[in-house]
Amino acid sequence: RKNLVVAIDGYSSCGKSTLAKALAKKLGFIYIDSGAMYRAVTLYFLRNHTDMSNHDAIMDALQHIELNFHSRDYESHITLNGEEVSEEIRKMPVSENVSEVSAIKEVRTEMVRQQQRMGKSKNIVMDGRDIGTTVFADAQVKFFMTADPKIRAERRFKELQSKGDTETSLEDVFENLAHRDYADTTRKESPLVRAEDAIILDNTDITQEEQLEFALHKVTPHL
């Protein structure tokens, strides 16, 4: 392919989007948060009480969903039918249901189609669960990120607290991450798995600056 694609996959809350944003900023690439798309679809399904076991209901809902990204300084802002939902999709109700929604075949087919279109001609950094295996199996650079589950839960817990969430405990966060990791790695449709050619990046003990430096070192030969 002519345009450069950097694919970042890995478990929940292990710093994929932080690295992806920093990398995109440094390289002048477009950052696409594929998880935000599954989260926005989940929000729509929850609000509209979509019957997730009904093929026709799912197809009908998907037809009524329009997602758009608005990049502000490499933060990813997503709109659902014109409404800014970036904050709402990070809250617990969506986190608790997103893995069920993202396991639905019809949902994945549509999201993958949209993601492939977004990365057709531009240089991009995309993070998610199946980017290096399914969406862009031909990506020139692939990373697979992991980190100690306890550290991941602590990081996400602090993030929720800083946003004013006082209801969710560290335990709740830990359980949600464990549940999503389990669901994401065991589902039938493109489960989370490391692509054979993905570079493993365990960030339990390394700083964000070190991760960025490591990643840049792998990408620059392809520029």
Which residues fall within 8 angstroms of residue 13, CB to CB, at 6 or more apart?
152, 153, 155, 156, 177
How far is 204 from 154, CA to CA, in rounded Å?
12
Structure tokens at 102: 């993202």
How far is 195 from 119, CA to CA, in rounded Å?
19
> Minimum distance from CB of 9 to ligand C5P (Å)?
7
The residue among 99, 86, 156 whose CA lies nearest residue 129 is: 99
Segment lying near ligand C5P (by CB under 6 A), choices 55-63, 96-104, 145-153, 166-174:
96-104
Distances (CA, A) of 78 to 35, 74, 131, 189, 201: 11, 12, 19, 24, 27
How far is 74 from 30, CA to CA, in rounded Å?
8
> Minimum distance from CB of 50 to ligand C5P (Å)?
16
Q: Counting contacts by CB under 6 A, is residue 144 touching ligand C5P?
A: no
Q: Counting contacts by CB under 6 A, is residue 15 touching ligand C5P?
A: no
Rule CB under 6 A: choose which of 34, 133, 203, 211 binds ligand C5P: 34
Binding mask 160-189 for ligand C5P (x = CB under 6 A): --------------------x---x-----
> Minimum distance from CB of 220 to ligand C5P (Å)?
25
The residue among 125, 126, 142 whose CA lies nearest residue 193 is: 142
Rule CB under 6 A: choose which of 15, 119, 128, 132 binds ligand C5P: 128
Nearest CB to ligand C5P, comparing residues 21 and 39:
39
Q: Counting contacts by CB under 6 A, is residue 99 touching ligand C5P?
A: yes
- Which stretches within the chain are classed as H helix? 16-27, 34-47, 55-63, 92-102, 105-118, 149-162, 170-186, 208-219
> Minimum distance from CB of 63 to ligand C5P (Å)?
20
Does 120 count as an annotated binding residue? Answer: no
Rule CB under 6 A: choose which of 50, 86, 102, 133 binds ligand C5P: 102
Footprint of ligand C5P (CB under 6 A) = 12, 34-35, 38-39, 98-99, 102, 128-131, 180, 184
Binding-site residue set for ATP = 10-18
Binding-site residue set = 10-18
